[in-house]
Amino acid sequence: MSRPAGNTRLKNARLAAGYNSQQALADAMSAAAKQIGAAGLEIGVRQIRRWESETPPWPQADAQRVLTHLLGQSIEQLGFTPPWGSDGQSAPAPGRRSPIAGTMSAVGLATVPTAASTPQPASVGIDYAAVTIAHRRLYWSVAPAQLHPAIAQHARLGCHLLPDTAGACHRTVAAALAESYLLAGRIEFFDLQQPAQASETLVHALQAAGEADDPLLGAAILAHTAFIPGWAGRRDEAAERIVAARTYARRGHATPAFLAWLDAVEAECETRCGNTSTALHLIGHAEDLLTTGPDLPVPPWMDWFSPARLAAFKGNTQLRAGHIPQARETLCQVLDALPADADKQRTVVYGDLASVEAAARNPEDACAYAGQALDQLAVTWYATGMDRVRDVRRELAPWQHERCVRELDDRLYGWATTVSALQR
């Protein structure tokens, strides 16, 4: 017999907030209670276990305050059903509400109705997933500010559909919804530079993946949540999320390529936190997985990773470690290996090569690569790529009176570029 899933909404919100055990959440709640005026509240791991069961009891008022304070969601979004029901008289029938119903209200869209309407046919899962797949493909060419609203509306539709599906169709819609939330979170973090919004969106993605019972998709979402503290230099928090991602990957029987990507994510977080030696070791392990492990397919939604993109991670880490000749060689090889549609990654590589030449005291070559990055950004905007160009400009400060640097400034601070950057 299959093991009951329990209150997956609370479990996933706990993990996404960085509490990797029930005891960790219990300790955090007891500490937070004193800070928000609920000093008499004492929470033990047994209570957390009850809340994460199949039939979680309705928390008392002080416990609700602390839970919502720590996890950033309403008590209903955390999987609790009020004993008096939504109509103030009787509790809603079991199974009539999706575990993620209502989550879109947290991201500024209309609240999803809690009552079921007409049951959906089995084909709705295939149709809904087809749109998710189309969005996945469009990400590589459509401007993120234009694509993001469409994805958000599609996720809202998924929240409406999910309560009215069952069986395999239910799992298909939930998995597609999780992927849509993941894509929205990726755009918010990498393209629009909205880490707080991305963090909230990725929690919803994890809840949907739990509804689909898809541990591999859950692992991918958790790994993306690690980028947020990792890029901010909060190494311990990023490391905890990577541990959670690896745990889910193990449950999902991840392929060597998927595990190599997890190494790459951890390596980038370590690099951002200044631990380049650790990062290079992780990248070496990822390279071994790709070259010696069995060549098994990755999930179709994992279209953001390849040996060339791993090499791009490596080149950036070599640059930050001060291994300038090695970084130049690696990044030039990446440019040759990237597919034609890898416009966003190409922008980042041009920016890193510009930094390599600035570090080598070759300002003209640095400006030339920065100019190529700007050419690509004019075609496909990518905030992470523009960050690389701005980093290079700061590195070129010793040569700011040179003609090549002034010409770069003319492009970097032209009317169109400046207005566009401010709008984004």
**pLDDT tens digits for 297-310?**
899 999 999 999 99
Do 412 and 336 have their domain in common? Answer: yes
Range of the domain at 49: 1-80
| Phi-psi group of 97: left, alpha or beta (phi > 0 → left; psi -120 to 50 → alpha; rest → beta) | beta
Q: Which residue has the tokens 């720590």?
A: 70
Cα(205)–Cα(184) distance, integer angstroms: 9
pLDDT of 101 = 41
Closest CA to 100 of 206, 245, 224: 206
Q: Contact at 8 Å (CB) between 285 and 331?
A: no
Cα R_g (the chain), whole angstroms: 23
pLDDT of 83 = 63
Do 75 and 129 have their domain in common? Answer: no
Both structure tokens of 341: 């549609």
Please state the rounded mean pLDDT for residues 243-262. Answer: 96
Do 149 and 204 have their domain in common? Answer: yes
Cα(82)–Cα(76) distance, integer angstroms: 8
Instruction: Tell which wins on pLDDT, 38 or 344.
Output: 344
Q: Contact at 8 Å (CB) between 222 and 244?
A: yes
Do 418 and 328 have their domain in common? Answer: yes
Q: Is residue 101 a part of any domain in this protein?
A: no
pLDDT of 39 = 65
Q: Contact at 8 Å (CB) between 168 and 122?
A: yes
pTM of the model: 0.74
Do 416 and 340 have their domain in common? Answer: yes
**pLDDT tens digits for 140-192?**
888 888 999 999 999 999 999 998 888 899 999 999 999 999 999 999 999 98
Of the chain, the end-to-end C-alpha distance in Å amounts to: 51
User: DSSP of 340-390, one letter per residue?
Assistant: TT-HHHHHHHHHHHHHHHHHTT-HHHHHHHHHHHHHHHHHS--HHHHHHHH
Closest CA to 218 of 49, 12, 9, 6: 12
Q: Is residue 147 a part of any domain in this protein?
A: yes
Do 329 and 424 have their domain in common? Answer: yes
Please state the rounded mean pLDDT for residues 97-103. Answer: 41
Q: Is residue 290 a part of any domain in this protein?
A: no
**Domain count of the fold of the chain:** 3
Which domain-ending residue is among 193, 213, 233?
A: 213
Q: Which residues contact 203 (CB under 8 A, 6 or more apart)?
A: 12, 13, 16, 17, 72, 73
Residue 104 scores a pLDDT above 60? no
Please state the rounded mean pLDDT for residues 189-213. Answer: 93
Which domain-ending residue is among 195, 213, 231?
A: 213
Q: Which range has highest mean pLDDT (94-98, 114-118, 136-140, 419-423)?
A: 136-140
Q: Which residues contact 382 (CB under 8 A, 6 or more apart)?
A: 144, 190, 191, 343, 344, 347, 348
Do 337 and 400 have their domain in common? Answer: yes
pLDDT of 185 = 97
Tally Cβ neighbours within 10 Å of residue 155: 28
Which amino acid is present at 388?
R
Which domain-ending residue is among 80, 104, 137?
A: 80
pLDDT of 136 = 96
Quick one: what percent of the chain has pLDDT higher than 90? 62
Residue 9 burial class via C-beta count within 10 angstroms: exposed 0-12, middle 13-18, buried 19 and up? buried
Cα(47)–Cα(38) distance, integer angstroms: 17
Q: Is residue 227 a part of any domain in this protein?
A: no
Q: Is residue 230 a part of any domain in this protein?
A: no
Residue 95 scores a pLDDT above 60? no
Q: Is residue 70 a part of any domain in this protein?
A: yes
pLDDT of 124 = 94
Q: Is residue 333 a part of any domain in this protein?
A: yes
Both structure tokens of 8: 């997956």
- 311-343: string of b/e by CB count within 10 Å (b at 16+)? bbbbbbbbbbbebbebbbebbeebbeebeeebb
Q: Is residue 309 a part of any domain in this protein?
A: no
pLDDT of 100 = 45
Q: Is 228 helix (H, G, I), strand (E, B) or coil?
A: helix
Please state the rounded mean pLDDT for residues 36-59. Answer: 85
Cα(221)–Cα(136) distance, integer angstroms: 15
Both structure tokens of 58: 């309705």
Which amino acid is present at 309?
R
Do 50 and 138 have their domain in common? Answer: no
Q: What is the mean pLDDT of the chain?
A: 87
Residue 146's alpha-carbon distances to 142, 192, 422, in angstroms, are 7, 11, 16
pLDDT of 76 = 85
pLDDT of 66 = 87
Do 40 and 133 have their domain in common? Answer: no
Do 36 and 128 have their domain in common? Answer: no
Closest CA to 208 of 241, 172, 243: 172
Q: Contact at 8 Å (CB) between 200 and 238?
A: no
What is the pLDDT confidence band of residue 91, given thresholds at 50, 70 and 90? very low
Do 65 and 141 have their domain in common? Answer: no
What is the pLDDT confidence band of residue 261, given thresholds at 50, 70 and 90? very high
CA 250 to chain centre: 19
Please state the rounded mean pLDDT for residues 7-31. Answer: 89
**pLDDT tens digits for 214-245?**
999 999 999 999 999 999 999 999 999 999 99
Do 209 and 140 have their domain in common? Answer: yes
Please state the rounded mean pLDDT for residues 372-401. Answer: 92
